[in-house]
Homo-oligomer: A and B are copies of this chain.
Amino acid sequence: MYVGVNIRKVIAKYDLDRITIVTLASHSALQLVHGAKKEGFRTALIITENRRLFYEQFKHLIDFFIVVNKWSDLCKEQIVKKLIELNSIFIPHGSFVEYVGLDCAENIGIPLFGLRSIFRVEANQHLKMDLLAKAGIPTPKHYNLDEEIRNLVIVKLPGAKGGKGYFLALSKDEIIKGIERAINQGLINKPSDALIQEYVVGVPAYFHFFFSPVLNRLEILGIDIRYESNVDGLRRLKPNVLERIGIEPSFVVVGNIPMALRESLLYKVYDYGLRFVKVTRELLPPGIVGPFCLEGIIEDDLNIKIFEFSGRIVAGTNLYIQGSPYSFLYWDEPMSTGRRIAREIKLAIKRGKLDSIVT
């Protein structure tokens, strides 16, 4: 649901000299408040009690702690009221929808930096892949269970669960068994929630973009590789040991590693980014705002297939709190994605364009 009208009303009453940048105390919150402070904003974190001791170390970066019992309390009337009093702009990061739920995320009556209508797309693997395909971005094939499947596939579960429950399969039998296991574990409700995708052989890479409606330009702010448990540890074991202990690889993202891309691939990746901006403008107006990430496999013939995207800031940007090899090409100062968001808000306020970057 698109709540643009209400949000405009909220903003109309804001004191633009006293904006507070707000997010949930997780994912990329430290980067976001660090960046917001660099640009001169007040900051607030929505936080649970058990995390408070940790984040209070950084109270020089955080003006307000708003303690909740559970994350979805964000949508409670008194919290929303408090946030509006603070002239809040909320930054939805990669854990946002998973933490507060789709309904709260879509309907909360405070201005969100970014494109609210993309949450619903992101929550559904099929809609996600459709959007990429409509953009003309190369993607892996995907299958229905009633099709013949003879290649290696990866089966993915919806939502930003950090890869939890993803599995590989070489036959339809293995797919069906794995999906049943996922249903039993409560990770999905029904078989069609899972996405059955061609497993592209190559190396993964995550491309961090930032689309600026204010400057009307697309920037590539960084690239990372994910560090996943347990798969990145299994390589330490001999094949025959692996076999004897019988452990299956799992793909839970626990960290990120920096990477620079072969420069002759950059212009291809940038073209994908432009296509993504264009398709969201057409199908999800006003289109993507701020950070997004295209997540791809680079094959050994140098083709790149995008297997997933994130319409918000991804955790891989945490590597680049002091700038990345790419951000320094645009900005002659340390520019994280978190700071870039705050810079965009600052520029938008200055130019009277705040309406164009919040939804």
Contact with B along A257-276 (1 / 0, CB 8 A): 11111111111001100000
Which residue from B241, B302, B315 sits with its C-beta under 8 Å from A263? B315
Interface of A is mostly: mixed
Q: How far is the CB of A331 from chain B (nearest CB, A)?
A: 10
A237 at the interface (CB under 8 A from B): yes
Contact partner of A168 (CB less than 8 A), chosen from B30, B241, B302, B323, is B241
Residues of B with C-beta under 8 A to A29: 263
Distance (Å) between the CB of A179 and the closest chain B CB?
18
A256 to B260, CA, bound (A): 5
Please indicate the chain B residues that have their CB under 8 angstroms from the CB of A232 in the complex: 203, 235
Q: Does A352 contact B (CB under 8 A)?
A: no
Is A320 in the interface zone, CB < 8 Å from B? yes
Contacts known (A168-B237, A328-B322); A54 close to B266, Cβ less than 8 A: yes
Q: Output the nearest chain B residue to A267 by Cβ-Cβ distance.
A: B54
| Copies of this polypeptide in the complex | 3
Q: Which of A118-126, A130-138, A221-229 contacts B (4 or more CB under 8 A)?
A: A221-229
Q: How far is B28's CA from A322's CA once the two chains are assembled, in angstroms?
A: 21
Q: Is the CB of A230 within 8 A of B257?
A: no
- By beta carbon, the residue of chain B nearest A304 is B254
A104 close to B (CB within 8 Å): no
**Contacting residues, chain B, for A186 (C-beta < 8 A):** none
Q: Kindly state whether residue A238 has any CB partner on chain B within 8 Å.
A: yes
Known: A27-B263, A259-B255, A259-B256. A238 touches B227 (CB 8 A): no
Known: A267-B50, A319-B325. A202 touches B233 (CB 8 A): yes
* Contact B248 A242, beta carbon cutoff 8 Å: no
Most B-side CB within 10 Å, residue of A55, A219, A238: A238
Distance of A217 Cα from B249 Cα, bound (Å): 39
Residue A152 CB within 8 A of the other chain: yes
A315 to B223, CA, bound (A): 15
- Selected interface stretch from A3-11, A76-84, A293-301: A293-301
B-chain residues with CB within 8 Å of residue A242 when the two chains form the complex: 238-239
Task: Map CB proximity to B onto A86-113 as digits: 1 under 8 Å, 0 otherwise.
Answer: 0000000001000000000000000000
> Are A257 and B256 in contact, CB atoms less than 8 angstroms apart?
no
* Bound-complex Cα distance A162 to B301 (A): 11
**In the complex, chain B residues whose CB is within 8 Å of the CB of A302:** 229, 252, 254
Query: Is A300 in contact with B230, judged by CB distance below 8 angstroms?
Result: yes
- Known contacts A54-B267, A320-B325, A322-B328, A201 near B217 by CB under 8 Å: no
Q: Please state if B230 and A329 are interface contacts (CB–CB under 8 Å).
A: no
- Given A57-B217, A263-B315, are A257 and B225 also a contact pair (CB < 8 Å)? yes
A229 touching B202 in the complex, CB below 8 Å, given contacts A27-B264, A243-B240, A262-B162: yes
Query: Contact between A300 and B250 (Cβ–Cβ < 8 Å)?
Result: yes
- What distance in Å separates the Cβ of A325 from its nearest Cβ neighbour in chain B? 5
Give 8 closest A-B pairs by Cβ, nearest first. A54-B267, A239-B239, A250-B300, A203-B233, A229-B300, A260-B318, A235-B235, A252-B300
19 contacts between A and B (CB under 8 A): A30-B329, A51-B267, A54-B267, A54-B271, A57-B330, A58-B329, A61-B329, A152-B245, A168-B241, A202-B229, A202-B233, A203-B230, A223-B255, A227-B259, A229-B302, A237-B249, A238-B242, A255-B259, A255-B298
